[in-house]
Chain A
Amino acid sequence: MSIRNKLFLLLLMGMLIISLIFTFLSQIEPVNRAYITNQGENTVSVVDLNTLSVDQRIAVGSSPLGVAIVPSKNLAVIGNVDSKNLSIINLDKNKVVSTIPLDTAPLGIVANASGDKVFITSWFKNQVLALSTHDFSVLHSFSVGITPSGIAFNEKYNAIVVANRDADTVEIYDADNYKLRKKVKVGSHPYGISTNSSFILVANVYDDTISIINMENWVQKVIKVGFYPYNAIVHEEKAYVTNAQGDNISIIDLKTFQEIKKINTGETPENISIDKINNRLIVTNWGSDSVTIIDLQTQEPIAQIKTGLQSRAFGQFIYTK
């Protein structure tokens, strides 16, 4: 073997080792991002939750609010309230790959467990739309209560749960045949909603309370929180509630159904998702145009990151891979 060939072989091996190291590194550092709709500037900020930096801003339609991440399709679905359409973002490229016109203002958006469908609350028409994530055609639409807002998917019961803001009700529908299974009267002005295992959580904005509904026996617990609760989620036997006019979140112990702590956020916190990789809460602040990062271990805020004007991100907005 000539010296030249030996050198070439050495170079090749060196490159192979370097590329292996890179592959290894990318595996220990998983993709972990938040997609934050900025309603005041028609963009989505992509926040890297490992480095706590904003990677980029993606231009979308007019007044984006709702967001749903569909990991099986590598997509984020963004609902644009004023342009009445959806912006579909490819999560590998972080680019809008299509814009889907709707004849209504999309509010809440959620995907089912397999990700083959998304369900959208249609604000003005008092309907829920079911869309295929294959081509985003409307598969079905059905009437619900007045001004349907938050929407969530319950995997255990294969059910769609909807908060009807001006009807003060929560409705539970079958996710395949769209039949109404149950209607529950809750507090005044229910807006954000989530569901986990057998529980449904809904924020009663005008009552400064949340309702926790047990789907096994339909028992409802009402818990006092802060000013103007906007959304509520469950994570490991605790509920986390954004208090939009309290500028804080409430932590509720789900064993005792008591508030155990309030943590300050930015101004007008609205929505909330869990960063499971780093064990943190991510809260969007409409007033301060930012997200607040809260460590779940210490229950203390660790950072506030500027995202964009009127950050809202209504829905589960974190993508991990």
Chain B
Amino acid sequence: MKKLILFVSCLIFSLSVLAHGPTPQKVQESITVNVSPEKAWELVKDFGAISTWLSAAKETKIEKRGEDTYRIITLESGDKLDEKLRSTDEDLKKIRWEITKGNVPFTDFNAYMIVSKGSNDNESVIQWTARFYRVYKLNPPIPEGQDDATAKAAVQGFVDSGLAGLKKVLESK
């Protein structure tokens, strides 16, 4: 039975990679952290360190696939998430990545984080922006759990707890 569920969810996900609904969803949040932007950026850009600040990411390992860098995240649920590093920009203190595989209630997820200067040299602002779509691609009615609200709530949860986790880790160092 478990295998069947896994198969069906894989099927849903692979279908969803092929297509998505017309309106991308957005979650954009910021948090002020009492460390310098340089210090905040050091942690934010460390692609393999996500498990130190995102509690839902139980374990993370970095994998090289040709030129590309991936992180394979094992979630609390046991599900795995493949995320591909798109770019890191040292000047703008910006990192970009996308989810390439995973059993989550949203699809076509890509995101970026930007670290900027706060009101003084020892304060920084971390902004996290995510773009994604709901799972269901076709004309309404939309099945329960595959709508915009479900997708948004799931991403909002990751973003809120992630930013809070970053603040906690950075300020305790």
Chain A residue with the shortest CB-CB distance to B110: A245
Residues 74 to 95 of chain B near chain A (Cβ within 8 Å): 86-87, 94
Give the interface of B toward A (CB within 8 A): 18-19, 22-24, 26, 28, 86-87, 94, 96, 98, 110, 112, 114, 129, 131, 138-139
Contact check, A166 vs B18: say whether CB atoms are below 8 A apart: yes
Q: Given A267-B129, A286-B131, decide whether A81 and B98 contact each other with a Cβ distance below 8 A.
A: no
**A-side contacts of B18, CB under 8 Å:** 166
Q: Given A40-B26, A287-B112, decide whether A227 and B131 contact each other with a Cβ distance below 8 A.
A: no
Contact check, B26 vs A245: say whether CB atoms are below 8 A apart: no
B25 to chain A, nearest CB (A): 9
Q: Given A268-B131, A286-B131, decide whether A310 and B26 contact each other with a Cβ distance below 8 A.
A: yes
Contact check, A124 vs B138: say whether CB atoms are below 8 A apart: yes
Chain B residue with the shortest CB-CB distance to A188: B18
Chain B residue with the shortest CB-CB distance to A268: B131
Contact check, B23 vs A246: say whether CB atoms are below 8 A apart: no
Assembly CA distance A273 to B138 (angstroms): 30
Contact check, A123 vs B22: say whether CB atoms are below 8 A apart: yes
**A-side contacts of B112, CB under 8 Å:** 247, 267, 287
Chain B residue with the shortest CB-CB distance to A227: B86
Contact check, B19 vs A147: say whether CB atoms are below 8 A apart: yes
Assembly CA distance A124 to B138 (angstroms): 7
A49 to chain B, nearest CB (A): 26
Give the interface of A toward B (CB within 8 A): 39-40, 63, 65, 81-82, 105, 107, 123-124, 147, 165-166, 227-228, 245-247, 267-268, 286-287, 309-310
Question: Which secondary structure characterizes the binding site on chain A?
Answer: loop
Q: Given A124-B138, A245-B86, A287-B131, decide whether A39 and B110 contact each other with a Cβ distance below 8 A.
A: no
Contact check, A107 vs B22: say whether CB atoms are below 8 A apart: yes
**A-side contacts of B87, CB under 8 Å:** 227, 246
**A-side contacts of B138, CB under 8 Å:** 124
Contact check, A82 vs B23: say whether CB atoms are below 8 A apart: yes
Contact check, B23 vs A81: say whether CB atoms are below 8 A apart: yes
Contact check, B23 vs A287: say whether CB atoms are below 8 A apart: no
**A-side contacts of B26, CB under 8 Å:** 40, 286-287, 309-310
**B-side contacts of A165, CB under 8 Å:** 19
Assembly CA distance A147 to B18 (angstroms): 11
